[in-house]
């Protein structure tokens, strides 16, 4: 599972290797990397809207799905779970990401199978 700790402005304070691998990043502190560039075009406005709502203090779902583009440009389904985390004495946000691509493919195959054999 990928893990990222962000501050209140969304700046990454820490990211583990699994997170970097998911997004095809070399290091988490690269200021020229914009994570939104790794979201599929369809998901970018959805994620931006959710982030704006969160900053306004509104609640957002605890488990969110986002389609990301990996370093090869392939689409991968990912889900993340937000939470709070004590980091250097401050309460920061922790996001845990996991790849759900295989699960989604299996669900789709099952649907097709069920349609073919009622």
**What gap in Å lies between CA 27 and CA 81, rounded to an integer?**
21
Q: Are 68 and 21 in contact (CB under 8 A)?
A: no
What radius of gyration, in Å, describes the C-alpha atoms of the chain? 16
Q: Which residues of the chain have pLDDT under 70?
A: 27-37, 61-63, 70-73, 118
The model carries a pTM of: 0.65
**pLDDT for the residue numbered 81:** 76
pLDDT tens-place string over residues 50-78: 777 877 878 776 667 777 776 666 777 77
**pLDDT for the residue numbered 33:** 56
**pLDDT for the residue numbered 103:** 82
Q: What superfamily would CATH give domain 2-116?
A: PAS domain (3.30.450.20)
**Residue ranges covered by each domain of the chain:** 2-116
Question: Which residues 6+ apart lie within 8 Å of 68 measured at CB?
Answer: 22, 23, 38, 39, 40, 43, 75, 76, 78
Question: Residues in the chain, how many?
Answer: 118
């Amino acid at each position: 599972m990928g893990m990222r700790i962000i501050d209140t402005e969304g700046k990454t304070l820490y990211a583990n290797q699994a997170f970097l691998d998911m997004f095809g990043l070399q290091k988490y502190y690269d200021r020229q990397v914009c994570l939104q560039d790794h979201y599929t075009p369809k998901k970018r406005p959805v994620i931006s809207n959710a982030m704006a709502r969160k900053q306004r203090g509104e609640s957002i779902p605890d488990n969110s799905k986002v389609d990301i583009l990996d370093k090869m440009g392939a689409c991968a389904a990912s889900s993340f779970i937000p939470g709070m985390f004590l980091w250097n004495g401050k309460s920061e946000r922790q996001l845990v990401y996991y790849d759900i691509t295989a699960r989604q493919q299996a669900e789709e195959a099952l649907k097709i199978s069920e349609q073919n054999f009622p």
